[in-house]
Structure 1
């Protein structure tokens, strides 16, 4: 089940950070690793939500998670794909059903491995033919057809539904809602290539510079946006 991937990822994250291993610290650590090592933006808040869902759903149900999120968390755990993860971490429910199979997985490991590799190769070839792309356009990402010239200039990025729907550059002022009712950040900031501060509606990399955006703080708001905040 997908929830096992999330739970395993948090177990690994807990072992990688010293001191206070709270859920918030673990999710922040995993988010930083995914962004810095895999160039994949997945916010700490989203990770916490996935973890909470994984811990609260019963054994017979699973969480709702995108295939891209699952794939990158499997890579963080050291697996090439979710299929590889399942081979080493079979579902508990499925394992119980297969106890009387006389070690079927162990006896047929080579056959299963070949089958998985075949599936991955077919999936990879199909994905190349169906790959979707996006490009930054003024203040948001838009889906576009592949353009070799723009790709060579590092302007094109792999399509990401969350980036398309939720990532925007906005103008901020004293009326902007910087935090939600529980105090969680709603605005991130970073400098463009000219050294000017710009503000965005989601965590990620600055579309121009590729640098990691930072969470807005009360100090930043008072200093650069609204002195009376």
Structure 2
């Protein structure tokens, strides 16, 4: 992933927002408060059976969308703060899982981000020349809210125009659409990141950069509260790992992102012994 790809994705989403806020859900989007965005999220997912959107929701919130989790979602209303600020142009946002959720809210396609990048990198028909005299300036209109097939070439030139200005020694396609995608654990979740060694140095002090694993991307660290659901129909909903005599909790199975230890399903014994959720 390059920053240029992400910026193009965000531009396209904001343009779609300008269209959608006067559409069917204008009452929720004209004033994109956290509560309104939460309501819109429910409506979008009720009318959409996309597995990608279901995954986007689970990656962001740490639990699956469903009628049984609506009250749980309501308690997470403050998580929409970053989305609200992004749409109001108050602050920027670079967290992929948050941007993907915004794309869902404004019904931008193609989504999620990986589909956006692959959609353009898959067009190999047009030749690309990124010497200075042939580069073009990328504009917001080069990334429309919808992506008709007839405009794919224009969109690709817009993206490569930006990368051509900043890349030396690389082809534009290598910079704009790297063949490999990686991820890195950052505090409590994984983020997509450039696989290059320069990116590794830029994030010195964080966990290692590793090849993307879509299952592992869903992993999030959880801080148990008195509303945390530890079990559902007798099945554990939280996994844990003991680190330095302390319990660290996560939303799904897998391995600890920093130690590589296998996560274990939570038990009543562990909950009581360590006073989790109190």
TM-score bracket relative to the smaller structure: 0.3 to 0.5
Structure number with greater CO (CA < 8 Å, separation at least 6) is 2
TM-score under structure 1 length normalisation: 0.38
TM-score under structure 2 length normalisation: 0.31
